[in-house]
Amino acid sequence: MPQLPYLDPALTAEERTEDLIGRMTLAEKAGLLFQPAINIPGRITTSEAALADAGRKIADKLISHIHVMDGDDAAEIAKWLNRLQRMAAETRLGIPISFSTDPRSGFHSSPFTGKTADAVSRWPEHTGLGATRDVELVRRYADVIRREMLATGIRVYLGPMADIFSEPRWSRGFGTFGEDPELVSEMVTAFIEGLRGGLELGADSVAAVVKHFPGGGPQLRGMDAHDKRFREQVYPGGRQALHLRPFEAAFDAGVTQVMPYYGMPVGTDWQERGFAFNEPVITGLLRERYGFDGVVCTDWYLLESTTVENISFGPNGYGLEHLTPTERLKAALDAGVDQFGGDDCTERVVELVSAGELSEERLDVSVRRILLEKFRLGLFERRYVDVEQARVVCGDPQQHALGERTQAASLTLLKNDGLLPLAPGTRVYGEGIEKEFLAAPLVRVDSPAEADVIVVRLAAPYETDPDSALGDWFHAGRLDYPVEVIDRVRELSAHAPTVVAIYLERPAVLADLEPVAAALVGEYGASDAVLIGALQGATDFTGSLPFDLPRSMAAVEDSREDVPFDTTDPLYPYGHGLTLGAERTPETQAMRS
């Protein structure tokens, strides 16, 4: 029996796509427009429940894009995804699944923005990569992610973030490469190229989904739009064009997928509705001005609601809350969107076409883009992976060592009153550090009174929000430390010189902390072992701040959300960083003037 044309790898991706479109029913086309999540069995779901969920989505709804949630063991992930691919192969057309994931290689773990996984190499958050200033290192990092994802069967990476960290309070800022649009642009380019692994998307590539178009950084007061109370994105400085620069770099780099943000722009010439429903942004700007003809996938759950880790989430159809889910779906398709993250309501597409409210020709425009990506990724020929090889690749000691070296390279020495490096035999008392890492050649002591030096690890400040439906997954609010934290460090420093290491998830206000610390270290995701090694001089401090550290909350509150480097007289400016020898010259930023 002759092979069906869409299964013939000798034909072009375009030829195979056209043949397959001609064979598809309306229901099969509708299935392509959704990318819901399926949890790996184990931590929060059983195999039976996960399999039933997969059957409903893959066999019944004919969905062939799946967002992989949870899972830690690389071989178990690979085995489960192979099982789902077999389920897809048994459908009438056998369209393989494109599996996607949020970031998995950093230190910040959230059911909404990415799950840390010990099975893969561990790196600093992306602000830490910005702190290294090493564009080639970012390319190597993305190449490692590419190999790890390929090994487990995941072919789409929901990133990188091309957003600019212009609002210091923004709770998503740790996922950016920092505050400088030019550095962000360079690193976004390198990341996309590293994931692709060649000049063009192919069978050894992972597709990047650059986000969050047209730039999610200017959220009002830094409150994130995952929360329905905080829809507004604002541009008091009129810098809309500035936030587009990293996306322009991504387009030049050949990115094939784009995700618009939840945010609703206020006080601009754009429509006051979420970006995925915003025709001037998606069609006028992205499609027409930039000529982007790849896949546009919305952020998650714009149409219907769900439950994530027992938390109710969505729908986030800002500005169109009064519409039905079907009406919002049509509004997004009319705006130029192709695919919907999280949702799985395929029947609504069938309803729109059957009612004559959506033409099948318009549907085919999105179906064509989505299928082309599958063919270019070689999914029809390589849908399964070697389970044991997944464990080998993801456990590669060289990749893990490179991640640890990058953690060390990102560490930023903000202040050193001659205390560092710590000499062998130094008696150290620690807080916020696992005791096992205060070991020889240091001497661990159990009280501040016995110590020669005290080491304290702190997280950047944030305010808890009892009214948040999302719990404390998004750290927002004030950036200065409460008095009890300052008093505790002051109390410790009365016993011995104190090193304070701060996880700079956001740009903390350190003006009250700085006088009582003999040394200050900024980190962006680093293990205790890496940090303690650096304090002893095992590695030098080479990181530079990827953003300003404001002098006060008043300066933060007076700054404009869309304007980088807008806090007056920062305590430590962008580019600041010391070595164990001498201060480096801070980088001059033309935009500051």
Per-residue pLDDT tens for 143-159? Answer: 999 999 999 999 999 99
Q: Is the pLDDT of residue 22 over 90?
A: yes
Instruction: Say if residue 469 is in the same domain as residue 351.
Output: no
Domain containing residue 353: CATH number: 3.20.20.300
pLDDT score recorded for residue 2: 59
Identity (one letter) of the amino acid at 556? V
| Residue 589 burial by Cβ neighbours in a 10 Å radius (0-12, 13-18, 19+) | middle
pLDDT at 471: 80
More confident residue, 593 or 337: 337
User: Which of residues 353, 377, 394 is at a domain's end?
Assistant: 394
**What is the tens place of the pLDDT at every residue in 274-313?**
999 999 999 999 999 999 999 999 999 999 999 888 888 8
Reduced to 3 states, what is the DSSP secondary structure of residue 366?
helix
What is the per-residue pLDDT for 589? Answer: 35
* Residues 290, 407 share a domain: no
CB atoms within 10 A of CB 23: 12
Within 8 A by CB and 6+ apart from 504, the residues are 127, 412, 460, 522, 523, 524, 549
Same domain, 209 and 125: yes
Q: Are residues 162 and 302 both part of a single domain?
A: yes
Same domain, 186 and 333: yes
Q: Which residues pair with 500 in a beta bridge?
A: 456, 520
Q: What is the pLDDT of residue 590?
A: 36
**What is the overall mean pLDDT for the chain?**
95
How many CB atoms sit inside 10 A of residue 392's CB? 12
Do 379 and 408 fall into the same domain?
A: no
Judgement on whether residues 100 and 249 belong to the same structural domain of the protein: yes
47-76 mean pLDDT: 94
405 and 352 assigned to the same domain:
no
From residue 167, alpha-carbon distances to 9, 188, 556, 561, 591 in Å are 48, 19, 8, 5, 16
Percent of the chain having pLDDT more than 90? Answer: 90
Last residue of a domain, one of 363, 394, 425: 394
Number of folded domains that form the chain: 2
pLDDT at 63 over 90: yes
The active-site residue, picked from 299, 343, 452, 548, is: 299
For 382-398, write each residue's pLDDT tens digit: 999 999 999 999 999 99
Over residues 79-98, mean pLDDT:
98
Q: For residue 511, what is the domain's CATH number?
A: 3.40.50.1700
Asked if 480 is an active-site residue, the reply is no
d(CA 544, CA 575): 5
Cα 343 from Cα 68, distance rounded (Å)? 14
**Percent share of the chain, pLDDT over 70:** 97
Higher pLDDT, 534 or 582: 534
Q: Which of 394, 422, 452 is the last residue of a domain?
A: 394
Three-state SS at 88: helix
Alpha carbons within 13 angstroms on the beta-carbon side of residue 68 total: 30
pLDDT digits (tens, 9 = 90+) for 109-147: 777 777 777 789 999 999 999 999 999 999 999 999 999
* pTM for this entry: 0.95
Name the one residue in this structure whose structure tokens are 């404009």. Answer: 560
Q: Output 591 or 148, whichever has higher pLDDT.
A: 148
Range of the domain at 346: 5-394
The answer to whether residues 364 and 501 belong to one domain is no
| Residue 299 and residue 349 in one domain | yes
Number of H helices, E strands in the chain: 17, 19
Q: Which of 577, 580, 578, 571 is nearest to 548 (CA)?
A: 571
- Under the banding of pLDDT at 50, 70 and 90, the label for residue 588 is very low
Task: Decide if pLDDT at 354 tops 50.
Answer: yes
In this model, does residue 231 exceed pLDDT 80? yes
Residues 423 and 388 both lie in one domain: no
Q: Identify any residues that bridge with 308 across adjacent strands, giving them in sequence order.
A: 311
401 and 389 housed in the same domain = no
